[in-house]
Structures are given as structure tokens and as C-alpha cells.
Amino acid sequence: MARSFQALIPRLRLHAGLALLLYVTTHLLNHVWGIFGLEALESARRFFLGFWRHPAIFWVVPASLLVHIVLSGYKLLTITNWRRLHWNEWLQLSLSLMMPLLISSHVYVTRFATLLYGVRDTYSYVLLGQMTIAIDLYLMLVVVWLHGNLGLMSYLWHKPWFRRIKQPLLIAQIVIPLLAMVGIIVAHREVNQLKQDPAWLASVMQFTNPNNVDLVAASSNFMARFGAGYAAILLGLGGGRALVLRLRRKHYLITVEYKGIATVTIPPGTSLLEASLANGIPHAHSCGGRGRCSTCRIEIIEGAKALNSPNETEQRLLKRFGAGSDIRLACQTIPTGACVVRPLLHHHDRAQLGAPTMISHGADKQIVIMFADLRGFTTLSEGKLPYDTVFILNQYFQSMGQVIESNGGYLDKFIGDGIMALFGLEGTLEQACHNALAAAQAMAHQLDVLNQRLQDDVSEPLRMGIGIHCGHVIVGDLGYKRAKHLTAIGDAVNIAARLEEATKTLQTQLVVSRAVMQHSSLDLHDLRLSEIPIRGRSQPLEIYSIESAKSLVLVPLTLNS
């Protein structure tokens, strides 16, 4: 019950915010009519108020305002880690703190003065005031507009159709307030001319402020009290919040067990990703914990009930990934009680990667090298959100990585959208050649599965090219500090890379050197041998060019004991 209410809060806040944004948009559109003169502005106002002050709608704005303020305050009070906030959340938050001060005098003059003193808040009356009042009003609208549109953008960001409306929406977000400002300036100039006529001035005053209330003094008085009250509330809430958090952190720690890795204790409000990083537990997090990349996925082994409910962003991402109910995004998961978890993507150690632990200082070895590259991915990623690109690439790397590893390969590195893998770091060359070809075939099948899964995310199916060669290379740990890892260098590596490049010109999926084929158990009957020039080599290289790796006919290898 409590969890479902927790999940409801952001929704309620969002919908209240959207209702307010709609109100502000129509308010600004009302101002736009000022371009056509004061009369047009007033007519638009009657239409605008006819809607918003209709008895059935009248309470929507105050109610939305109340809900939005209370729930935003609640969010503010429950933020336990300010570092988790993105810059636009900081901006939104700062704007929201300014808003009560900016809107209170406007609300007083329009709503309260109307109710208390029978004031009619026409534009003629409002614009009779100093230009500074109009500027204050405008500043208020800009702050509210900016705050609302930041919220709108983060709400729409994940919608599949967002890209289609992004440009027109951006244009509207800039053009509407600009036109509204022009409308107010034009109308203000007209009022300045009209007020030279005492009869016009008297009739406006009589109509708009029949009781001749000194609204400037009344609103200043209200603002002084409101300002002091608001400051006291902020100080009280801020101080209370700091105290409560301090006490909770001191007296209440939550235990998180990383199965087979470590057990740590964390203060309440800490996400599982933060728990990992704070305790030195390797944990992938490509998007920096913003719930967009899914690389921080974690398996919940025990204690699912002690976790916050997945929010909309997390649900969407996990669904897209096809994750089971025991999988969560660590960056979005905040435990309130003990739990046992296992990160799914972390910085693997050498043993997990299938790399032999003996080769570290360098060894000359005959191995098989595979390069694989996505075709046209740069074009494919054009116009995509960065996180979508990362998401698709990670899906591709994960699928291919699993296939390579399950066929005895060692994932050397990911280079852009390319993969370099080594086979035969241990075992015979025959076994390595067989494994590399089996991996290429499995990768081709896996690509079909991936394309099926990503059909809504990519405009055309992913394609790839694979080059495989074998030869003597130097294998060893290369690099510096954390960037040091087991890799291979040598002519054979360069040739394998050239073979992968050759798949583009030969328009095939797989190019394999004759040397690999000779050491494999492959049925070569239907394959045609050809030669290609290799940059840096005087002799051409004999290769087999295979249109689809799926067509390979692999014969099970007979192992000699």
C-alpha cells in the first residue's frame, strides 16, 4: 500500500504540473493577442477566463498548485543524495523555490483581491501600473515557463515519438514567451497613451477597482508577511530534514549483501549503485545513474520487498530489455531493509573473461584473431538520442560478447562499434580455428535475434562484418594502471583487422584467411578461394569470402587426447 502510494507521488506531481503548464501556456497565448492591441488582449482574456474560471474548472489551477507544491516539497525533503540530481533537476528545483515568492503577489492581486475587494483584474488595470510591475509579472511567467518545460521535457524524453515532436516543441517553447512579451509591450504602450485621457482613466478605475482599495499597499503588506512566512517554512523544513537524516544515518544502517563479493552497510536513501561505488564494488553505470542505459542491472536474490517500487523510467527500460521480475536498475533501486543482490554487468576479472592467468608478461603464441564491426552504425545512430545509441550498442556487445565467450573466445576490446576477440589463448590452434568459426556462425544467428528484439528501435536491421585470421602474435598485459589488460599485438592482428574491412568491399558478412580454414574442420566444398591485397604486405592473401556466416557447415572437432 505504502509502496503503491510512493509510486503514485511522482505521477500526481507530474499531472498537477502539466495542468499548471497548460494554464501558463494559455495565459501566454492570451498575452500574444496584445500584439493586435488592448481590445484584442482584453477579448482574449475574457475567453481565457471564461474557461479557467468556469465553475467546473475553477479549482483545477489552485488544486494543481497545491498538489504540485506539497509533493515537490515532499520530494525536496526526501532527497537523500544531492549528487544524484542532474543539472536540469537542480535548475528545476531552484526555479521551484523562487516561484512562490514570484507568484504570490500576482495570485494576491488577481485571485485574493477579486474575492476580498471585488477587484476586476483586467489588463487595462494591470498595465496601468509601473512597467516594473509588468517586468515582475513577466519574470514570473518566464520562471514558471522554464520550470514547467523542464518537467515536460524530462517527461517526454523517453516517449518513442519524442524525436518527432522535439523540434516543433522547442520552437513553441521559445516563440510563445517571446510573442507574449511583444504583446504585453504593445498593449502597455497603448495603455500609456490612453491614460492621458482622464475620462478613460476614471472609467477604468471605476470598473476595475470599484472600492478604490490601495492594492499596492495591500499587496506589499501581504508580500512582506508571505516572504517572512516562506523563509521561516524553508528554514524549518531544511533544518528538520537535516536533523532527521543525520539521526537516521547514525542509528539506522541497511545491510546489502553482494552475493559472493562483499557485505556492506549503507545509510537509508542510498541507491544500490551508490552502495556499490561507495564500497569499491565494480559496477557498470554508463549513463551515470540516470536510468537510461540499463548497464547497472542487478539481480535481486533476496529482499525484493525491502526495495522501493520501480519508477516509470525503470519499468520502461526493464520492459524494453525483457528483464525478469528479479532484475532491477541499481541506480534506481533504494533498499529500505536488508537485501542480497548480484550485479549483472561489472568489470570482469581475467578468469571470468576466459583469459589465462599465466600470460601476463608476454608470450609468443599462435592464436586466432577475430574482428567484428557493425555496418553503417554511424548513419543508423544519426538523429538518435545518445542513450538510445548506447543502449543499442550495449545490446549488440552483450549479445555478441556472450556468443564469443561461450565459444571459448576472449573479448579483447570493444573499439567504437567494433569488437576484437582472441581464440586459442589456451588449447590447440585447430580448436581455436574451429571455435572462432563457430562463434562467427553463432554471432550471425544472434544478430537475427537481436534485430528481432530491436525492430522498434532501429530503422533498418543491424548488419555486421567479421574478419578472422590466425598467426603468431605477442600476447601479454599491455596498457597502464586500470587501462592495462591482456591483448595481442603483431602482424596477424593487423591482417585480421584488414579482413574485417574487406567485408565492406566484398559485400559479404565473413572473410576468413585460408590459414584459418586449413586448421579448421570446415567443409570447404562450396567455398571459393580468392586473393586480396593486404596493405603493408607484398604478397596478396588467400581468403574465403562468405556471404553469410550462417551458411558455414561446421563438422564437430575430433579431439586427440
What residues line the site for ligand FES (CB under 6 A)?
273, 285-287, 289-296, 329, 331
CA 548 to chain centre: 36
In the bound complex, what is the minimum distance in angstroms from residue 8's beta carbon to ligand FES?
23
Report the residue number, 319 or 445, with the smaller CB distance to ligand FES.
Answer: 319
CB of residue 169 to ligand FES, shortest distance in Å: 25
Q: Cα separation of 208 and 215, whole Å? A: 11
Answer whether 561's CB lies under 8 Å from 524's CB: no
Q: Which three cell numbers stand for residue 263?
A: 557485505
Provide DSSP, 47-94: HHHHHHTSTTTTTHHHHHHHHHHHHHHHHHHH---GGGS-HHHHHHHH
Q: Closest Cα to residue 328, out of 295, 286, 287, 282?
A: 295
> Locate cell 573499439: which residue?
415
The residues near 206 (Cβ < 8 Å, ≥ 6 apart) are none
Comparing CB distances to ligand FES, the nearer of 286 and 389 is 286
- Among residues 13 and 84, whose Cβ is nearest to ligand FES? 84
* Minimum gap (Å) between residue 332 Cβ and ligand FES: 7
C-alpha distance from residue 560 to each of 426, 427, 485 (Å):
15, 12, 32
CA distance 517 to 434: 9
Which one, 230 or 414, has the nearer CB to ligand FES? 414
Least Å distance, CB 285 to ligand FES, is 4
Q: Using CA atoms, how far apart are residues 200 and 310, in angstroms rounded to an integer?
A: 61
Q: Which of 295/487 has CB closer to ligand FES?
A: 295
Closest approach of ligand FES to the CB of residue 386, in Å: 12
Least separation in angstroms between CB 343 and ligand FES: 11
How far is the CA of 183 from the CAs of 25, 193, 242, 391, in angstroms?
14, 16, 46, 45
Residue 476 phi/psi, 5° resolution?
A: 180, 175
State the minimum distance, in angstroms, from the CB of residue 122 to ligand FES. Answer: 51
Q: Which is nearer to ligand FES, 295 or 435 (CB)?
A: 295
Q: Which is nearer to ligand FES, 289 or 354 (CB)?
A: 289
Which residues, at least 6 apart from 374, have a Cβ–Cβ distance to it below 8 Å? 380, 393, 396, 417, 418, 462, 463, 464
Q: How far is the CB of 329 from ligand FES (least distance, A)?
A: 5
User: Please, what is the minimum distance in Å from the beta carbon of residue 505 to ligand FES?
Assistant: 38
For residue 294, the minimal CB distance to ligand FES (Å) is 5
Give CA–CA dist 26/23, Å, rounded.
Answer: 5
CA distance 555 to 561: 18
Instruction: Rank residues 299 and 501 by Cβ distance to ligand FES and give the closer one.
Output: 299
By C-alpha distance, which of 362, 371, 358 is closest to 492? 371
CB of 215 to ligand FES, least distance (A): 52
What stretches of 60-197 show up as alpha helix (H) in DSSP? Answer: 60-78, 87-107, 113-117, 123-128, 131-156, 162-194
Which candidate, 368, 427, 435, places its Cα nearest to that of 403? 435
Coil, strand or helix at 420: strand
Q: For ligand FES, which is the closer residue by CB, 330 or 473?
A: 330
Q: Which is nearer to ligand FES, 218 or 277 (CB)?
A: 277
Residue closer to ligand FES by CB (options 17, 289) is 289
